[in-house]
Structures are given as C-alpha cells and as structure tokens.
C-alpha cells in the first residue's frame, strides 16, 4: 500500500465515527447515517460508508435524513458531508433534488505531525498564541468569517465558547500583528486515535503570502505533539492545500459539503 492508501484507511477506520463530531449536542442513527445536531441550530449528516445502497435507497436516505432535521424548528441549516472515494450511486442527484447545494470541493490531507514543525519561522512582527477568553474567541471567530468572505455568524462563536467551557480538548490559536488578529485556526485532538485535526485556518487577504498561516499551523502541530499525537488531518481549500503538501501531508481524497438552508 502507498502512504496515501494507508492514510485513507486510517481516516476511514479511526475518524468516521463519533470521533468526527466531538462537539455534538445529540446524534441519531438512521441506517448507515449519523444525524448530528450542533449548538446554534446546525444539523450535520455523515457516515462511514453507505454499504450496497443503490440510487433508490440513496434517495430514501437523503429524504429521511433531511426530514429528521426539518421536524426540529430550531435547525436552520444542514450540511451533508460527502467524500470523493465513497461508493454512493445517485447521492449527488438526491441531494440536489432535496434542496441541498454543493460548496467547493476540498482536499482531505493527512500526514505526520512533526513534518508541520519544520521550516516554519514566525514572520517578523507576528505573535502566535492561544485564545480562550470569550471576548477573544468572538473576535477570532469574526476575523475568520471575514477571511473566508462570509458574514459574521455569532452562532459559531457561541458554540466555540461553549466547547471551551466544557473542556473537550479543542484549542484556538491566532496570529497577531500590531495587536490585531490576522490569522486563526482550531486544533482538534481526536480521542482514542493517533490523529489531531487542524481546522478553520484562515488569513485575512492583506496578510497572505507571508508565511503566517504556515507558522500558525506549526504552532498547533507542536501543541499536538506535546499531547502525544502523531498524525494530522485537515480538509483544505486550494489556498491551504499547497502549503500542507510542502509540509509533507498527502491528499488522500476529496470532500464536498452539500448545504440545505431552511427558507
């Protein structure tokens, strides 16, 4: 097996379980699906595999999964997480028919944590640190929304604050220059596995191309190594994928989120 094949097998076996959603408020099983409710009215649908489901069965699963969340008026949106290497006949068509809209595909990146720590100097004038106070978490969340070109979503900040209060292992990191946050991201240790996830990494457009994201990624990796983790995974945009590839991570598959929004 190649490294990519080994990493993909570890991904499917270790990460496509409840370990994928440590901040879930509730999880309901529907056949092979895990229907996950997060704080802030967010639904999420995932699974390890879909077995031998044909297109007809796929249409039933999509409709029934969505109906589960439709029945809860507190749910404002649902994400169905697809993976490019899954056998899923008719899934895309069923999702679109039920009002789900695809986002841009992202690369599933996996590799050794220690590789992220090499050749990642902190740029001059930049400070890296963890944040934990509510005010700082909300400021970081708003900055990341801005970096991604999204409207500020206070529900995401609410969920991050609640998770820090629960102490589930998540860490929030930022890079600052001249006292302002310009880059941020999460570190998500996966209990019972060799993995840690690096998520939500984003840099304000005016500060890209300076090595800030690379340095913040290395800081998160060093923190994970201190906790005896060995492997890192991340769903990466085309902005961050080349950076992670240069750091020794391998693209093992793709993931495309399909989103439904209550009208």
Verify that 152 and 122 share a domain, yes or no: yes
List pLDDT tens digits, range 32-89: 999 999 988 999 999 999 999 999 999 999 999 999 999 999 999 999 999 999 999 9
Number of domains in the chain: 2
The answer to whether position 258 is within a domain reads no
DSSP bridge pairs for 232: 111, 196
Q: Which distant-in-sequence residues (6+ apart) come within 8 Å of 150 by Cβ?
A: none
Q: What is the CATH number of the domain that holds 195?
A: 3.40.630.30
Tokens standing for residue 54? 């044909």
**Based on the domain organization, do 53 and 99 belong to the same domain?**
yes
pTM, entire model: 0.82
Full domain range(s) for residue 100: 3-107
As given in the structure block, the two tokens for residue 22 are 């440590």
CATH number at residue 103: 3.40.630
Is 164 or 243 the better-scoring residue by pLDDT?
A: 164
Q: Are 244 and 232 in contact (CB under 8 A)?
A: no
Structure confidence by residue, pLDDT tens digits, 215-262: 999 999 999 999 999 999 999 888 889 888 988 899 999 999 999 999
The two three-digit tokens of residue 133, written as one number: 């106070």
Q: What's residue 39's pLDDT?
A: 82
- Does position 124 have pLDDT exceeding 90, yes or no? yes
Q: Which of 90, 107, 124 lies at the terminal end of a domain, its last residue? A: 107
Is residue 261, in this structure, part of any structural domain at all? no
């Amino acid at each position: 097996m190649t490294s990519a094949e080994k990493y993909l097998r570890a991904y499917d076996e270790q990460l496509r379980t409840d370990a994928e959603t440590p901040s879930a408020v509730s999880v309901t099983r529907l056949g092979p699906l895990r229907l996950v409710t997060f704080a802030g009215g967010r639904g999420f649908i995932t699974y390890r595999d879909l077995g031998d489901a044909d297109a007809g069965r796929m249409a039933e699963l999509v409709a029934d999964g969505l109906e589960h969340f439709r029945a809860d008026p507190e749910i404002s949106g649902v994400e169905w997480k697809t993976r490019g290497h899954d056998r899923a006949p008719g899934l895309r068509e069923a999702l679109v028919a039920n009002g789900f809209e695809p986002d841009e595909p992202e690369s599933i990146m996996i590799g050794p944590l220690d590789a992220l720590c090499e050749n990642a100097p902190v740029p001059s004038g930049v400070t890296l640190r963890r944040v934990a106070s509510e005010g700082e978490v909300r400021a970081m969340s708003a900055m990341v929304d801005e970096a991604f070109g999204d409207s500020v979503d206070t529900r995401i900040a609410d969920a991050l604050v609640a998770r820090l209060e629960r102490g589930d292992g998540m860490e929030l990191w930022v890079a600052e220059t001249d006292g302002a946050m310009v880059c941020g991201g999460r570190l998500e240790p996966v209990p019972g596995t060799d993995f840690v996830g690096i998520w939500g990494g984003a840099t304000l457009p005016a500060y890209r191309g300076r090595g800030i994201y690379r340095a913040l990624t290395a800081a998160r990796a060093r923190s994970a190594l201190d906790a005896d983790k060995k492997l890192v995974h991340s769903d990466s945009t085309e902005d961050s994928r080349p950076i992670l590839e240069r750091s020794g991570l391998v693209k093992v598959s793709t993931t495309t989120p399909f989103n439904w929004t209550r009208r």
